[in-house]
């Protein structure tokens, strides 16, 4: 498929580099037309390196080949992302100030625009009138996401995540309806939310500890998504190097005991608790006050004792209006697969929702896409989500909102 990607002058242009990469990896012939303003955010060399084609904003650079018309005529699908308010106005008026405008006006194939701008600009009656005009002409308009914008602002106007844009190109090419999975703005307004993230450390001595590979990416994404949707968010971070978003209260802890104490106290004020942190199941029975010396022989034994089951304790002491979500990072073995272990844990823990993700050497941990399967307290499958950590976070919050609505809270 021949895909023409137009990039206009918004900071979200950086996301489109991922879109272009994904489309080329799928085997599509992709060409980028940037506007001059967009080159302030992502340079021409980036687009040319990703696509293997020239990426110029200049209408007159390739006059003998009539590029300003040929590019639009030859594309099966044109995606403009991000589409600024100014570009939407140009397109609605039939203007062609640069090469991109000429190409879109010459298009014979399908056209998709993905607006991205500040909330006030998106809500402005002029912008909304332009969007309505474009839709009336058969142009597909992807509604912007709700989330963090430039600076400290947050609201409707954020460019959807790359996987959403890639999916939109495929759907339009196949004449399938565009799916709308965006969260509802402000649907968590007034809720007090507690999210835990990261992994605890259980010290053997002042230097060494038992730990896990959790980085806190998914937990921080859950906190950010909740804040974007209007919640009052408290994040308990266990050894997390990531920054927390603007407006998120944060408590940092190290050990399982510190985690348990902080979580129990914070949960008293929370309407929803999401336990995304990986808490150690065991700790050394007698940590050494001094560094253990290597004597040359094997360590004969290491006595461990169970740590507190914080999730189970919260479930047992909760009020009817509380919603509690747990996480299960599992691997399979000879006895059962990871899915079966997660179902068993869902029944055993009794949380309203248990999010299971299979982990291994190359999946689950860190700044990589994630996939979760959601179970209710009876171990029944109630949902699935995959994609970026933020996309998965919003899907989990969608499920929480639905659960609370069903429960009448």
The catalytic residues are: 212
20 class by beta-carbon count within 10 Å (0-12 exposed, 13-18 middle, 19+ buried): buried
Question: How far is residue 126's CA from residue 120's CA, in Å, rounded to a whole number?
Answer: 11
Distance linking the first and last C-alpha atoms of the chain = 48
| CB 355 within 8 Å of CB 372 | yes
Q: How many CB atoms lie within 10 A of CB 368?
A: 12
Query: Assign residue 171 a region: left if phi > 0, alpha if psi is -120 to 50, beta otherwise?
Result: alpha
Question: How far is residue 97's CA from residue 86's CA, in Å, rounded to a whole number?
Answer: 11
β pairing state of 209-210 and 272-275: unpaired
Question: How far is residue 16's CA from residue 38's CA, in Å, rounded to a whole number?
Answer: 11
Question: How far is residue 66's CA from residue 226's CA, in Å, rounded to a whole number?
Answer: 49
Query: Assign residue 66 a region: left if phi > 0, alpha if psi is -120 to 50, beta otherwise?
Result: left
| CB 82 within 8 Å of CB 8 | yes
Q: 115-150: buried (b, 16+ CB within 10 Å) or exposed (e) per residue?
A: bbbbbebbeeeebeebbeebeeeebbbbebbbbbbe
Question: How far is residue 186's CA from residue 176's CA, in Å, rounded to a whole number?
Answer: 29
Question: How far is residue 226's CA from residue 188's CA, in Å, rounded to a whole number?
Answer: 7
Q: Give the closest residue to 384 by CA, choosing from 356, 348, 404.
A: 356
Q: How many CB atoms lie within 10 A of CB 32?
A: 27
The DSSP annotation for 191-252 comes to -EEEEEEEB--EESSSS-EE-----SHHHHHHHHHHHHTT-EEEEEEES--SPPPTT-EEEE
3-state secondary structure of 82: strand
């Amino acid at each position: 498929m021949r895909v023409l990607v137009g990039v206009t002058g918004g900071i979200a242009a950086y996301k489109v580099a991922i879109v272009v990469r994904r489309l080329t990896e799928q085997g599509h012939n992709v060409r980028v037309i940037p506007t001059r303003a967009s080159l302030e955010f992502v340079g021409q060399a980036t687009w040319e390196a990703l696509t293997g084609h020239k990426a110029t904003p200049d209408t007159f650079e390739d006059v003998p080949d009539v590029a300003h018309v040929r590019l639009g005529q030859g594309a099966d699908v044109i995606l403009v992302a991000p589409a600024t308010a100014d570009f939407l106005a140009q397109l609605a008026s039939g203007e062609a100030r640069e090469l991109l405008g000429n190409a879109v006006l010459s298009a014979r194939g399908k056209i998709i625009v993905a607006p991205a701008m500040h909330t006030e600009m998106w809500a402005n009656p002029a912008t909304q009138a332009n969007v309505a005009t474009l839709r009336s002409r058969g142009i597909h308009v992807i509604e912007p996401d709700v989330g963090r914008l430039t600076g400290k602002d947050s609201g409707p106007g954020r460019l959807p995540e790359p996987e959403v844009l890639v999916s939109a190109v495929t759907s339009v090419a196949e004449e399938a309806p565009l799916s709308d999975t965006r969260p509802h703005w402000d649907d968590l307004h007034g809720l007090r939310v507690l999210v835990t993230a990261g992994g605890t450390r259980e010290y053997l001595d002042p230097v060494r500890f038992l730990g896990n590979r959790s980085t806190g990416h998914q937990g921080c994404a859950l906190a950010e998504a909740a804040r974007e949707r209007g919640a009052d968010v408290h994040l308990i971070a266990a050894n997390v190097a990531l920054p927390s978003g603007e407006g998120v209260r944060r408590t940092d802890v190290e050990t399982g005991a510190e985690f348990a104490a902080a979580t129990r106290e914070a949960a008293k004020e929370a309407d929803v608790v999401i336990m995304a942190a990986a808490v150690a199941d065991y700790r050394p029975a007698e940590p050494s006050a001094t560094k253990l010396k290597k004597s040359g022989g094997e360590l004969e034994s290491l006595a461990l004792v169970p740590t507190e089951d914080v999730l189970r304790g919260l479930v047992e002491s909760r009020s009817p209006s509380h919603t509690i979500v747990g996480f299960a990072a599992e691997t399979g073995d000879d006895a059962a697969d990871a899915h079966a272990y997660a179902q068993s844990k869902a029944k055993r823990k009794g949380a309203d929702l248990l999010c299971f993700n299979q982990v291994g050497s190359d999946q689950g941990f860190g700044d990589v896409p994630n996939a979760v399967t959601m179970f209710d307290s009876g171990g029944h499958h109630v949902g699935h989500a995959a994609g970026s950590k933020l996309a998965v976070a919003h899907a989990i919050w969608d499920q929480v909102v639905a659960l609370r609505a069903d429960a009448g809270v």
